[in-house]
A and B are shown apart, each in its own frame.
Chain A
């Protein structure tokens, strides 16, 4: 069946419906007139002829309905009628309409909110390469499986040397609010201490300068700092010559070694503004206030980890978008 006539008919039926209906009215009236005329010329009286013609014709309105139903776009037309009817009924009872609209709005809003949270936490993968290999690592006291603690710095250093399980391990502290002072004034940012390898483990890259290196905290010179792209833009006007210069953080002068690319804001809930590296060592193994993130070696599962006595408690990092 050719498409073009159909399209034309649809156009006519939907947008020029009244004219099409008037035309049909006229056609059916003409048909009835011809029928009457035929009866009259076969010898009937005018009244008789009219009665007979109407009888033969059947229901005029019914015929119109049947023609309408056979047209292209009939469904569209009735749907439009239903919509208009619905709108009229709603307009007639504003109380009911308001209640319905508010219920729907609250329902949809609540569902969306719950789903957004669910999506972020459970469905959306962490924005890092191979996120299922990333785990958070805790210390536990042997014989007390209920409590878990952070990791002390000496333990972390030992693990990093000895571990057969992790491809990479990184230690973090914070986030904590730090103040950056410039000639224009002071500004508070979220700061996080991280060890070298932290950025590489999460697949984060520096867009300016470099990331932290291995001997950062044994160098004993000016402590290095890495800026987030946002901080670099906001606090230092995206000035590329900031690399290698010192900035005032909490009253100390630190050397800016790098600026992260715009897509990296840290691994937790808080958007991090600057990252710092240790240039000191907390030698006490009982000071367990550091977080450790690890990337598992291939072929090591979290189940296997649980059987390693010193590192029984592991869980996935909480996700964020």
Chain B
């Protein structure tokens, strides 16, 4: 099914069976058709299995080794290394990158995340630097369009309250945004209603439903 471009609620990603990702050689291959729709989908795998490669491929930054995939929506890829000039304050970064109508919301989220927007980027802690990227991505989402946001390990360095604030923010825009979030959860009870797994060179979908990290981690090798 190809969503209509005029339908803002239909962000979608479809990984077709046989899609292979990698650089010089194939890292992993999709073993079944995986259609994804609005909402948050976690991408789980051990180090070096192809999480970043898959996200970059879907974002159009890397060419797939073989096979097909389709995406529909305004795309953003926020890599695990996403940083700004040391002397730039978060407030100035938001002003440069976030459209004026969305800026107030961004400042509110920053306050909720306890991000000091008057502090130079270089003086922020690792976790707080991550928050800057998250706030930018969330408030560069286009309101009247379908959106795709690919996050590469956005939770690294974030404390629990910040994670909760971010996941709440995701819920509030999930009606027109599809997110694929790679992460290494550090607590078993982290809810994962939808997850993609990469293990043994295969990309497949974990079951949908009320599952947690504990249910998935034993399936990764």
Query: Is B truly associated with A?
Result: no
